[in-house]
Structure 1
Amino acid sequence: MSGLPSGGVIPELFHGLFDDAAVFPPGNLPVAEAVPAHRVHRAAWYAEAVGPLLCGAGRLGELAAAAAAAGGPAGAAGATGPAATGGPAGAGGDSRLRVGLVLPGGSAELARALAAAAPFDLAGVELATRDAADAVAELDRLLPPDVPAAVELPRELLRGDDLDAVLDVLVDSPYRAKFRTGGLVADAFPDEAELAAFLTGCAQRGLPYKCTAGLHNAVRHTDPETGFEHHGFLNVLLAAQETDRAAAAEVLAERDGEALAKAVRALTARQVTVIRNSFTAFGTCSIAEPLGDLASLGLLSSPTPPHQEDR
């Protein structure tokens, strides 16, 4: 990236990368606490790195009540202002709570969920399905044209020739793919080869995607408590520019944070654009952890406090 911005500036590589999945496992933050916490993120110096607050279709009523209790209809008082202006809450822009709608029940939930999401600033829809063609058809029929969407299929349907068939359906649509990179059991975490097949399949087609689960740390590692193998989001960012599976898998396997940070610093503006046109975001139940990892690697720094003379 030809050096890094000064303290308090979010590098382009990380803009909107961290979707706020605080209410989902393993964080499971109560909705009533997630709304004010999200507002803090959207008003902070790192607001440009933070995506929408993700919410399942079945919790939209709970979200509306929490948002109203926290500051007016659907969460007024600058819920999205920081993202639009980079300034403090209330600095401008649409003041409704910016929400990403997650539909684990598939297209059958879509019409009702869209109606329930009307009070919010709908940032996107993430629809789980076993039939990509059906999901695309329903999104085409019901989704407002200015709302983006991502389609998630079970990982068992994203292997071998099935992967190519699914990606071919999505590449002819306006929708992103969505891939699950972790969960609450070891089998929920794909290995390097499986993830590399998905990433390079998307890269070869120019198909954007987002990831979800298990990705809130920057570097690939083994969780000391669970023993689960976690991918690092820096690994995925760097692998997103690869079209060769073996090369992508090698990047995904890297466990040296300093090596990854060096590779990030060397990215050109064009490479950053290619990467983020592919890997658009990931859901994380913690915003603090990925920011902390970037800071520890020297890829991000908070604003320098103003100098105060001794009195």
Structure 2
Amino acid sequence: MSSAVVLKPPVLSFKDTGLSVTDGITGNGIWDVASEINWEFSLDQGATWTRGTGSSFEVTGDGAKIIWVRSWDDAGNKSEIVRVNCVLDTTAPAALGIAGQTEGVTNSLKLSGIEPGARWEYSLDEQRSWAPGQCSALGILGNSLSRIWLRQMDVAGNASDAQAFDLQSPALVAHEASGNPLQPSVLMPGLQTYLIHGVVVRGDADYVTWDIPKGQKVLSVKLVQYLSEDAIAFYALQRNKVFDAGVDVSRMLVYGHMGPSDLGRNVLANVSKSQLGEGAMTLWFQQTGPSPTQYAIEVVLAPAD
């Protein structure tokens, strides 16, 4: 009596496009199949089977999916069934609601209509690149940005329509950051994502301070825009409500040069967590050369570990 032929089952994979790559929620219905022989798939738990061609098949229709795949040969042998579950979501979320208001010298963009589990993103370069925000508002202090684009990204990775918001609206305040290290401009408290922006040139430094509340930490400080003929500017951060360190680098938390090559780099990445918690922090940003330099720096706060 001949023994049963055991076929190797196919390998099934898909691209999880969501904010998490392990949650099984995707906006892409294409499934890849790696099989040494023929294969087939079922979307109704084996009631019917569809013969596969090539190396992929497409699942359509939003909702939860139960997918079975197996190999087969011309003699009627079949492999074990590979079973997977996923949720297909190809529907883009609605556009964000955006309301601007001013407190002190900080403009605040309040965002509404964010779907559960979704995140909001902003763009400073006319939608060529996007950065994620925290919480449901964006604090902005400065006088160089003219507009910002905002959208939301749902858990499946679908993006809403992007909306442009005019930062030169008469309802908002354009504020040139203080040039006095002992009287820096103050970011309004209560938010978690901030943008500091301005134009600096030799002899015109910017000083901005913010408070890190109890139970929070500063997660990152990043250069997110830099427009200048001069590829080098200077920055420093001090743990204080003013910048009174002068040029004593031993009193600075971090310091150094910033330019196009530093875009997106978190300057606090190697700073001890004990230095990132509750208290004040002040930024010094300066261009020592004669070329005007337009910049934007993102500051993100987050719950302490």
Calculate the TM-score normalised by the size of structure 1: 0.29
Give 1 or 2 for the bigger CA radius of gyration: 2
Q: Which structure shows the bigger proportion of residues in strand conformation? A: 2
Question: Which has the larger helix fraction?
Answer: 1
What TM-score results when the alignment is normalised by the length of structure 2? 0.29
1 or 2 for the larger relative contact order (CA 8 Å, sep ≥6)? Answer: 1
